[in-house]
Amino acid sequence: MTEATGTPGTEPIRVLVVDDQELFRRGLTMLLAQDADIEVVGEAADGITGTDLAESLAPDVVLLDVRMPRRSGVDACRAIKEAVPSAKIIMLTVSDEEGDLYETVKNGASGYLLKDSSIEEVAQAIRVVNEGQSLISPSMAIKLIDEFKQMSKPDKQQNTALKLTERELEVLRLVARGLNNREVAKELFISENTVKNHVRNILEKLQLHSRMEAVMYAMKEKLLDLP
């Protein structure tokens, strides 16, 4: 089991688990309970109940299954972000072929996790998105890029994007390659707080809501020199 990384005296990360597979949901809940810095505050077996619980519990992080009865993960993601904007959402899926990746990210998801991930990977993903960062597997990142290549771009405007400074573009390029704030800071020889400020400025200039949305926008507008 992973060791808690939070500092002594800090509140645990409050997590809501929403998945229609009871064995998976209960097993995940039991395993996460062993991490001192994570507290599972609720469980739900469908998207509607999950949305209601999210609104009443206001969790820090929601683990949300993509395929569920009554309300899909895509619709639940949108509804939860509207009800609890502060909640970070990690989508859970059985396959990296998931076709709803773009829609869930567009609707506010901070991460995409395969269900065969280890409990250590799940716990670390919870910590990462709780800090305001994004998490997506390399295979899914490739699929995102492929999807953007197929998207039409009528009346494309880059006026906002052109306002990004060269340093902000450097930060965006590194974020797009999966580096976290600390790694970006090390790469550019700047402080982690400076990286956070750059990311905040990027989001404001592009009028976006998350790091992942910024990377997606940059890929779509061909602002990044990615392979």
Query: What does the pLDDT look like over 50-107, one tens digit per residue?
Result: 999 999 999 999 999 988 878 888 889 989 999 999 999 999 887 665 566 777 777 7
Give the residue from 179, 157, 18 showing the smallest Cα distance to 87.
18
Question: pTM for this one?
Answer: 0.68
C-alpha distances (whole Å) from 50 to each of 94, 141, 199 are: 19, 27, 30
- In terms of pLDDT, which residue wins out, 134 or 137? 134
| Distance from C-alpha of 40 to C-alpha of 17, rounded to nearest angstrom | 7
At residue 1 the predicted structure's pLDDT band, cuts being 50, 70 and 90, is very low
Note whether 13-145 and 155-220 share their fold. no
Whole-number pLDDT of residue 98: 58
Domain 13-145 has CATH 3.40.50.2300: yes
Question: Between these two residues, 67 and 46, which has the higher pLDDT value?
Answer: 46
Domain 155-220: which CATH number of 3.40.720.10, 3.40.50.800, 1.10.10.10, 3.40.50.720: 1.10.10.10
Task: Quote the pLDDT of residue 90.
Answer: 93
What is the average pLDDT across 159-185?
80
The pLDDT tens digits of the residues spanning 94-134 come to 766 556 677 777 778 888 888 888 888 899 999 989 988 87
Q: Give CA–CA dist 113/204, Å, rounded.
A: 27
Q: Which residues contact 80 (CB under 8 A, 6 or more apart)?
A: 50, 51, 54, 55, 62, 64, 87, 89, 108
Signed CA dihedral, 34, 35, 36, 37: sign only: negative
Q: 81-90, 130-139, 201-210 — which is least confidently predicted?
A: 130-139
What confidence score (pLDDT) does residue 97 get?
58
Task: Map out the domains of the chain as residue ranges.
Answer: 13-145, 155-220
| Long-range CB contacts (within 8 A, 24+) of 4-13 | 4/35, 4/36, 4/37, 4/38, 5/37, 5/127, 6/36, 6/37, 10/37, 12/36, 12/37, 12/38, 12/39, 13/37, 13/38, 13/39, 13/60, 13/61, 13/126, 13/127, 13/130
